[in-house]
A and B are shown apart, each in its own frame.
Chain A
């Protein structure tokens, strides 16, 4: 359940993220080794400006997190488990992509996302997912000439 305090915390996190990003950009920029003979308009100038902007905005956000308006109305509900299920599906797909191939990895993603949205018919989703991913694979590799990892089914698909 997202309370006002939770949302303010979220905004403080946002502010912290922006500030950290600003610090990161500044540090990385300072560590850049530029060649000899560069005037003020070298590759460091713009990054400095962006870092400055990030730090300023981060500070403003921090101020707003304490005093400003909250992003969502009171009683805003967020269900984290489905979002985590989607993330898990994405990570699994990424891990399985090269070894198992596009078709299997994406079918796994398909089932995971459908599960996250409440569909518990795993067998049906697996079947639909496989067919969809297979059709997509064939359409994009044979029809449009793109390259997708074939993986385990590579020998079957030729």
Chain B
């Protein structure tokens, strides 16, 4: 099968000493930064981006793969040992994991998280290996109208599924779309919304926005809440190895978690919250001792952790095969690709197979490295967690500004960083979700390009979006996702009214 041959070639690329070195650097840096509280995978990749600027694309992306997976591992460590995890996908792990840690079972919690992540990551990457080329075949038949409709679908599911109120999600999305409009319009050469500032001709960089929202905004928020949210680190006592009973209780959770996580990761539902929560509920339902949930049940860590990592791999499927980011982290990875002048999608598989398959191969390698790295080095990661918060956040902001400045070496990016940081602070306080903004920013220009291409092919005929079957299908699903909850609630209300 040509997929296996391509994968083999990818391994040949990934296993060169040079690339192995960068993979190691990636997983180490990714874990170290991922452990830091309040820094999720999206911000980790964004902050470590400057390190890759002068590398060749293959090595850079192998490093990114390591950072991406490493950040997920690091985040699990934090959520088990710290009572205030910063990242939403790891909140579920913290539910049982932190309780386990307080009972002195931190070691097994970390172990089940690490091994579960490895199992899930490997299986999910296998699924990625075989599904991505299939998706590429399907995607080659997409018309611009279908692509546009798919992106609209991504917009609606990211806003409708995440966050408490639809209007806040939409506000975030349209804000991102508006930011994406800044710059030279590629199809007409017209400068838009640049307010006479030449540095804005290239548009507003995704990295600046992400670092602004996630790092600066988060730092402002935590600074203002610091007095009210004390953090406690639970030390890891006793052995880090799992007993036979722990293994017996965990392994099914790993597999079920993977099965839940991967499909959700591939869908534009904004990330890993849903599968991790689902996995938690499934494990609770199927556990032999459900009363342990809420006291520190190991299944409650095994399942969600596996789901989290499987979703992370799942996110890579639409990103690599279609160029469609389904989470904020994927949006950063897409921005990283664009930084190197590459556009992921079916073309990339054809024109740069070494890069793509090298990346996929190094995901397997990264998984193994992370397993070997994380359990023995757990003491080191716990030390990282004990860095005092004042200096920690100071250091994070220094790196954040470094990252923003070195993109284009101009002050305007820094000003944008601060402005967006302040806006991010406001968003955090008012409960406006951040992911739709990032996705709107990066997909907006792509969606616009496909929109205009579709209309020029159809010569101004708007109905093309509904006559093209794929496009119509996507738009209908989008409408359902958007209006579904309202209809559901209205119908439930009607039933309540009519029955006595």
| Residues in chain A within 8 A of chain B (CB atoms) | 2, 7, 10-11, 13-14, 18, 21, 25, 28-29, 32, 34-35, 38-43, 45-47, 50, 53-54, 57-58, 60-61, 64, 68-69, 71-72, 77-80, 82-83, 85-87, 89-91, 93-94, 97-98, 102, 106, 109-119, 125, 128-129, 132-133, 136, 140, 144-148
Residue B389 CB within 8 A of the other chain? yes
Question: How far does the alpha carbon of A80 sit from the alpha carbon of B188 in the complex, in Å?
Answer: 45
Question: How far does the alpha carbon of A9 sit from the alpha carbon of B165 in the complex, in Å?
Answer: 17
Write out the residue numbers on chain B whose beta carbons fall within 8 Å of the beta carbon of A7: 430
On whether A146 and B181 interact (CB within 8 A), knowing A109-B394, A109-B401, the answer reads no
Q: Would you call the interface of chain A mostly helix, strand, loop, or mixed?
A: helix
On whether A93 and B394 interact (CB within 8 A), knowing A64-B165, A79-B227, A144-B53, the answer reads no
Question: How far does the alpha carbon of A102 sit from the alpha carbon of B402 in the complex, in Å?
Answer: 9
Decide: B171 and A110 in contact? CB cutoff 8 A.
Answer: no
Residue B282 CB within 8 A of the other chain? no
Please give me the residue from chain A that is nearest to B396 by CB atom: A113
Residue B357 CB within 8 A of the other chain? no
Write out the residue numbers on chain A whose beta carbons fall within 8 Å of the beta carbon of B174: 18, 50, 53-54, 57
On whether A83 and B425 interact (CB within 8 A), knowing A90-B418, A93-B401, the answer reads yes
Residue B370 CB within 8 A of the other chain? no
Decide: A41 and B455 in contact? CB cutoff 8 A.
Answer: yes
Please give me the residue from chain B that is nearest to A78 by CB atom: B224
Please give me the residue from chain A that is nearest to B170 by CB atom: A57
Question: How far does the alpha carbon of A41 sit from the alpha carbon of B50 in the complex, in Å?
Answer: 37
Q: Per a CB cutoff under 8 Å, which of B187, B193, B460 touches A25? A: B193
Question: How far does the alpha carbon of A38 sit from the alpha carbon of B389 in the complex, in Å?
Answer: 55
Q: Give the interface centre of B175, B223, B421 by most chain A CB atoms within 10 Å.
A: B223
Decide: A110 and B192 in contact? CB cutoff 8 A.
Answer: no
Additional A-B contact list (6), CB under 8 Å, known A85-B223, A117-B222? A14-B171, A46-B451, A86-B397, A90-B421, A115-B390, A136-B402
Residue B463 CB within 8 A of the other chain? no
Decide: A146 and B50 in contact? CB cutoff 8 A.
Answer: yes
Q: Per a CB cutoff under 8 Å, which of A94, A106, A113 touches B418? A: A94
Stretch at the interface among B12-20, B79-87, B201-209, B404-412: B404-412
| Interface 0/1 of B287-310, CB less than 8 Å to A | 000000000000000000000000
In the complex, what's the smallest C-beta–C-beta distance from A50 to chain B, in angstroms?
5
